[in-house]
Structure formats: C-alpha cells, structure tokens
A = this chain, B = another copy of it.
Amino acid sequence: MSESGKVTIAHGAGGKETWKIITELIVRRVPEQLRRTEGGIGIDKLDDGAVIRIDDKYIVVTIDSYTVKPLKFPGGNLGVLAASGTINDLLMMGAKPVAVEDAIIVEEGVSMELVSEIVNSFIEVLTDEGLAIIGGDFKVMPKGTLDIMVITSTGIGIAERPIVDTELRVGDSIVVTGPIAEHGATIIAAQLGMLDTVRGLSSDVKPLTKVMLPLLEKFGNYIHAARDPTRGGIASTLNEWASVIGKTIILKREEVPIRESVRSFLDMLGIDPLQVASEGIAVLGVDPEVTDELVKYLRSLGQVHARVIGKVVEPPSDVAKGKVLAETEVGGLVFVDTASVIVPRIC
C-alpha cells in the first residue's frame, strides 16, 4: 500500500482493498506476539471477532462501526442494523451473545426524535434477544462534520468451541441459510431514489440467534466456518475463505437462492448479486458427512431457502489456488471476483 495515496471508498467496501489496508496499516505493524492474547484468536485471522481464552472459557469480542444511508429503510434502520450485526458477528464465531457496549456519535442539530427512534430500535433488538447493554459512550460532532449518526458496537459472547474460519477444509460443503443480497439491494435502491418504482425490496436485517444457537447446539463440531456476508457479499466471504486456506471454492451459481425482486433489480443495474450485502443470512462451511441433515434441520427452523451452493476442493490449477470459481451454464468455470460494486454506507 502506498502511503502517498488517498483513502478511497474501495478501502472501506469490504473487498480486496479493505483487506489490504487492514493488513498493511494495522496487522503487519503489530508485533507478532501481540496479535492475539495467549491461547486466543486475534487480528491476524481477520475473522468476525476475536477470542480471549480465560481458563476453560472462550470469550468472543467483536467490534463494528455502522453507518447506513438512509438511516431508515424498508425492513429496518441503523439501530436494527447495528444490533443485528453485532449479534450475528458473535454467532458466526460460534458464541452465545451475552452483552453489548455501544458508542454513538450524532451530528449536532439532528432531531432528538430520530435519534430516539434509532436508539430504541437498537435497544429493542438486543434486549429481545436477551443481551445485556452494559456500557456506552455518547458524543456529538459539530454540524457539517458528520452525516447524521454512526453507531459503533462491541459484542461480547461466550463460546464453548469458537468457529475459526481457517478450519475450513477440502471436501466441506458451502451452505447458505437464505436468499442473498436483500439488504444491499434495498439500500442501493434507496440511495438511487428508486424505492417507489422498484417493488418488493426489503432488507433482510435480523439477528440469527434462533437459527444459529440450535444449529451450533446440534452441529457445532461439524461447522468449520461461518460468516454473515455483509460488505462485499458472499463473493467477498468465499474469496477470503479460499485465500486463507489456499484452496479453491467451486460455486454452483444457479443454486444460490435469490428472490426474483432482488435479482431483477440488480440485473437492471448490471450488479452481480454475489457482491451485494446481506444482513440476515449466514454462509457456512460444513463437514460433508452432516451436510444433508444440517440443511434439513435449517429448513425445519424456518430457513426454507437453505441450500448447498458449493464445495471446497483442491485447487485444479495454480491460478485457481485461493480463488472462487463458478460453474457456467456450458460446463466451464469462471472466476468469481470480490466486490467491484463500490456502494458506500451500506452497513
């Protein structure tokens, strides 16, 4: 990374550039022995959260800043997004969510009614799921120095066995719990002022507690990787996974569940749904031995669109190592790239 350049939207979009800036700006500069606590999982894993080992307990800690424009959108608002995202990051690490601390920054002059509505949603989602809200910070930035509101949220959970995505291995099935790209498509439509003309779009933002906790209980040892495909969509998630383990992921494009409204809207814009954010689904890397049973169980939990969408294989060639390939209609394979869609303030 050149230090002479300027920060671009791509650096924060959740794709290659984000990964690169985090690695070069932060990870490499932290002395090796301080990239994690003893026996824990740290920043070098670039996972959804970090793990601190305390005696025989695994404490999972996550952090994320949430900034979305517009603040309210079909299916949710910034508060629902921040609460759900925090809960889901903990679940993706295999943890039971326990508590949250939040740091809220608001622009001077914003209506208290709006702030109150967003904060209420944030609190409601968390407390409905039984999380404690144990601390926080509240700051105001002068008019013109912040666009409305940012919520940064730290989640704390406890895992019996943390899910570390580097455990993904050859043979594993890639399972998705529901239709993709719904959050991102909705925000893009809102930002383009197209919500009135395009019907049927609504964000999927929600906590996955009622899906993931039973799943972890029943299949915990067989789930090798788990991620909520937010910024950058499942293309980013799968490329990161393939890259960290140095294998290839073969994606069956036609198996990826997408609602028709989302597909046709993104088609119209020429955007690949694989690169668009979800906020209410999980992508899992599952031991092939239990895959069918696990998908069946997901459907019994109400995730009726749950499906196997790919598998991890030995790289068929050198250039395919660490990459994601999709099967084409005529039987060939093409690379699936990480986010080229640069939509700011999506989550």
Contact = CB atoms under 8 A, between A and B. Distances in A.
Contacts of A7: 106-112, 115, 140
A327 interface: no
A134 to B, nearest CB: 4
A245 interface: no
Interface string A216-234: 0000000000000000000
Interface string A60-99: 0111110101000000000000000000000000000011
Chain A interface residue number, banded: 35 or more
A54 B6 CA distance: 44
B26 A140 contact: no
A31 interface: yes
Interface in A150-181: 150, 152, 154, 156, 158
A68 B126 CA distance: 30
Given A63-B101, A63-B103, A50 B142 contact: no
A119 B63 contact: no
Given A65-B103, A150-B150, A42 B142 contact: no
A31 B133 CA distance: 9
User: Which one of A99, A135, A345 has the highest number of Cβ atoms from chain B below 10 Å of its Cβ?
Assistant: A135
A40 B37 CA distance: 22
Interface string A1-42: 111111111111100001001100110011100111100111
A209 to B, nearest CB: 15
Contact of A132 (B37, B98, B142): B37
A34 B152 contact: no
Interface string A127-143: 10011111111111110
Given A7-B112, A345-B142, A134 B25 contact: no
Contacts of A59: 54, 59
B5 A112 contact: yes
Contacts of A42: 132-135
A55 B52 contact: no
A207 interface: no
A18 B138 contact: yes
Contacts of A34: 126-127, 130-133
Contact of A141 (B113, B135, B147): B147
Contacts of A40: 132, 134
Contacts of A123: 26, 29-30
A43 B156 contact: no
A264 interface: no
Contacts of A131: 34
7 contacts: A3-B112, A6-B110, A7-B115, A42-B134, A43-B133, A54-B158, A63-B152
Interface of A: 1-13, 18, 21-22, 25-26, 29-31, 34-37, 40-43, 47, 49-50, 52, 54-55, 57, 59, 61-65, 67, 69, 98-99, 101-113, 115-116, 119-120, 123, 126-127, 130-142, 144-147, 150, 152, 154, 156, 158, 344-345
Given A26-B102, A64-B103, A154-B154, 8 more contacts: A8-B109, A21-B138, A25-B119, A31-B127, A54-B55, A55-B57, A65-B104, A141-B147
